[in-house]
Amino acid sequence: MTASSGRRCVTALVVAGFFVGILLPLVSCGGATPGEVTVPVLWATTAGAEPRGGVEPATVEVTDGDGGFTVDLGDVEAEGAGPAWLAASSAAATVATLVSASDPSVLDIRFGVTGPIDGPSGGAALTVAVLAAIRGLSLQPGVTMTGTVSPDGAVGIVGAVPVKVRAAADAGYKVVLVPVANINDRDSQTGQDLVTFGASLGVEVRAVNDIGEALGAFTGTPITAGSETPVPLGVGSVVASEAQAQAMVGRLDQALTSFTGDAAVVTVASERASVARDALVGGDPALAYGAATEGWLRLVRSQAVSTASGVVGTGDTTGLRVSLDAEAGRLAAEARRLLAAAAAEEWSAVQTFNLPAAMGWLTYATAALDGARRTLPQATPADLTTTAAVIAEQQASIDVLWPDAVASVRALETGSARWPDNDEGFLSRYTGLLVSAGEANDAYLDAVLQSGGAGSSVGDPARVAAQAAKAIVAEDLGTTASLSAALTYWFISATSVSTRQSFGINNSGPDGEPGIPSSPEKLARAVDNAASTVAVLANRLAGQGVDTSYLSWSAAWGNAASQVDIGTLTASGELLALGELWYSSVSGFCQSAALSAAAGSG
């Protein structure tokens, strides 16, 4: 079946989606002349008797204009290619516009394609092309690549890489760039690893971590990564982090004394508590907070499931349904009140730029709660116990994790950085593209991954929550709250794509315990890449006089939650870590763009 051809336009004012820290000192708009670049994008399909692949040339043109990006689709062969190209190009447009320090409100990006693509795996190559077009760089011949673009700017894993390597060789390419997480893939016919397999075909297969490395390989311009040395927290942030860690460890210990749920969960949570206590003694509040938070949230979810299951066992599902709806409504209203109150406060510039990420605890909770209420009328008894876990976890976010996050924002020091005169006005430009990027992911999920709700009586909880987040954007809750809701919409939809396609997790939504990853080592690699990006970014911003304590703290404790979770079946800690790291990336790159804009106006 052939996807219909057409012209899809997405307009946005400023970009904030998928980011790359190492490009900040290299890519700038000063003196650059926007132009046109053609990049070879690898694709493959395993449908049918014989896997097949190819190289699709995609043209990227960057010109002065009204902002946003456009995708022109020609004779497209592959099923779902329209949504797939849209998902890939939205990622490329967001990355390249932000990291090039261009003014996205006057930069038009046009993508021209005529053939198939197998999903967002063309996003990395398209990002390289946009960056090259913005800077007037030429791509070296004989180089092609495959890879998605993760929200932190890493080149994400893809499928059917040996098929793509063979296709590149058949087309005469000499260098194939692949994600680091794929480098140990093996050809099913020969059993050879990618490097050996490529060499047998006359192709050099290189692994790349992020878009910076990919741009260097395509253009011949070496990219020097920045320092990953942890940036010290400010004095006030040290006090806040230590207090939060101490309180969270105490909270976990208290929960363990009253828990009446699954004994296996007690075992895991007790291990987290032991790690957290030792970390407190050892002076590592990030590890203490991350380990204790991961363990505590497990207890919160499991206790809610146990309690709701007891009610279901009595047969009173009607009463349970009513009480869950009332509780979800109450909590959602409280989250909206807190969002509006925070948005109305007076904040310093650095606090304002960190606030949308911190508000993610509230916007995600509101979306999850609104989504839960939408699904309750059709919920089965089993669904009701899951909904109870959703509500309990979001109450934890509202009552504990949001107050901790906003306390960290309040502790930020003014610093010496120069910010735009209208910080909220600058931030407001980000909302449109985040929504557009989320819509592109939704279209891809529907058309290609077909995750509209199969296997559940109430639909895919992540997709329902994503749509609820999108609706919050339009509410009159304040500029920072609207941006946070847009960020949450993008985050949920991007996570749905990456977890299904890259990590083999079919359940990454706000509905209890996440699924079991088919590739835990690749999920761990994604966390490591994200942590590295945030660390490099924090060092660069600190060098510009920015207090990066919120960014560094959230990334550190989130990464710690992942580290203590390695080896367990579900991906609870890893997904918690990706959330903190990806939100931190957004916050950090917004700050970087703002500093660039302020410097340009001077």
Q: CA nearest 412: which of 590, 236, 593?
A: 236
| Mean pLDDT, rounded, for 157-178 | 94
Q: Residue 96 above 80 pLDDT?
A: no
> Quick one: pLDDT at residue 450?
57
Model confidence band, residue 49 (pLDDT cutoffs 50, 70, 90): low
> Quick one: pLDDT at residue 332?
97
> Quick one: pLDDT at residue 579?
87
pLDDT tens sequence across 254-312: 999 999 888 989 999 999 999 999 999 999 999 999 999 999 999 999 999 999 999 99
* Spatial separation of the C-alpha atoms in residues 436 and 53, rounded to whole Å: 29
CB 438 within 8 A of CB 10: no
Distances (CA, A) of 595 to 392, 590, 598, 599: 39, 9, 5, 6
- Strand 175-179 vs strand 143-145: parallel, antiparallel, or unpaired? parallel
The residue that leads in pLDDT, 172 or 382, is 172
> Quick one: pLDDT at residue 221?
78
The residue that leads in pLDDT, 555 or 71, is 555
| Mean pLDDT, rounded, for 499-518 | 62
The residue that leads in pLDDT, 559 or 508, is 559
Question: Under DSSP, is residue 8 helix (H, G, I), strand (E, B) or coil?
Answer: strand
Domains of the chain (ranges, CATH numbers):
6-219 (3.30.230.10), 235-601 (no CATH)
Distances (CA, A) of 348 to 133, 363, 476, 550: 36, 21, 22, 14
What does pLDDT average to over the chain? 84
> Quick one: pLDDT at residue 515?
62
Q: How many helices (H) and strands (E) does the chain have?
A: 20, 10
* Cβ count within 10 A of residue 48: 7
pTM: 0.86
**Residue environment code for 409-445, b if the CB has 16+ CB neighbours within 10 A, otherwise e:** bbbbeebebebbeebbebbbbbbbbbbbbbbbbbbbb
* Spatial separation of the C-alpha atoms in residues 73 and 86, rounded to whole Å: 10
The residue that leads in pLDDT, 570 or 329, is 329
Provide, rounded to the nearest whole percent, the portion of the chain with pLDDT above 70: 84
**Strand partners for 107:** 64
Positive or negative: CA dihedral 386, 388, 389, 395: positive
The structure tokens listed for 257 are: 């004394």
Amino acid occupying residue 216:
G
* Spatial separation of the C-alpha atoms in residues 60 and 138, rounded to whole Å: 12
* Spatial separation of the C-alpha atoms in residues 244 and 264, rounded to whole Å: 27
> Quick one: pLDDT at residue 129?
92
